[in-house]
Amino acid sequence: MGDEMSKTQIEIWGAETARTFRPIWMAEELGLDYIHHPIEPRTGETQTEAYTNMNRKQKVPFLVDGDVRVSESLAICRYLAQAYPADGVAVPQDLQARTKEDEWCCYIYGEIDETALYVMRRHGDLAEIYGAAPDVIEATIAYLARHMAVLAHYLEGRKSVLDIGFGVTDIMLVSCLDWAVFYQVDVPQTVLDYREAIAERPAYQKAMALNYPKLFGGAA
């Protein structure tokens, strides 16, 4: 998999962020053949004419699968899981299960990713663009701690977010937990245990090497 495959219609753009990690991880979990283009979000690579013609948002990640064009990490992961089902990835089959997946994906993306971790990135790593705001970061850490407490209570004794097993919600959550650990946020032990168990999955480890080539020295 990854860019070593030559005959495939699936192409995934993006690298070096938690959000670009998600579709790569999903593709690896599904055992898909795909071409990976490891372009980064702030190098100018998303602003080329060729890329802009594909994706006017000029963002990563981005997926092309034949005639299908999809942006946004959650949407890409859901598309792949439903278009290419595999035994190792659970896909909700009824309204109740789909609703629980919706609930958790909205919560993870809205509260933990966008409202907490990305705010910390915006006013920390990207302070030259958005402005340094240490008070905002401090308040955001406190806000994130509330949600870590929610996760610690919910994940006690669980191996996956949903009862149906490992799936999109776990990819969303673990990518955020990796992000939180990288930012040295206090993550409860129960949550760390859940993350560490999932991080043993071979697809996770392969995706990490593909998404973070600088960290892993280009290993695949």
Sequence letter at residue 131: G
Query: Each residue of 45-95: pLDDT tens digit?
Result: 999 999 999 999 999 999 999 999 999 999 999 999 999 999 999 999 999
Distance CA 81, CA 72 (A): 14
* pLDDT higher than 90, residue 22: yes
Residue-level pLDDT at 8: 66
Distance CA 5, CA 134 (A): 45
pLDDT category, 7, cuts 50, 70, 90? low
The helices-and-strands tally (H runs, E runs) of the chain is 11, 4
pLDDT category, 216, cuts 50, 70, 90? confident
* pLDDT higher than 60, residue 25: yes
Contact 111, 177 (CB under 8 A): no
The encoded tokens of residue 96 equal: 């109740």
Query: Each residue of 118-140: pLDDT tens digit?
Result: 999 999 999 999 999 999 999 99
The mean of the pLDDT values for the chain is 95
**What percent of the chain has pLDDT above 70?**
95
Distance CA 18, CA 191 (A): 18
Sheet holding 68-71, edge to edge: 35-37, 10-13, 62-65, 68-71
* pLDDT higher than 80, residue 148: yes
pLDDT category, 1, cuts 50, 70, 90? low
Q: How far is CA 175 from the centre of its chain?
A: 5
Distance CA 86, CA 108 (A): 24
| Sequence-ordered list of residues with C-beta below 8 angstroms from that of 66, at least 6 positions apart, any chain | 9
**What percent of the chain has pLDDT above 90?**
93
- Listed in sequence order, the DSSP H helices in 18-84 are 18-30, 49-54, 73-83
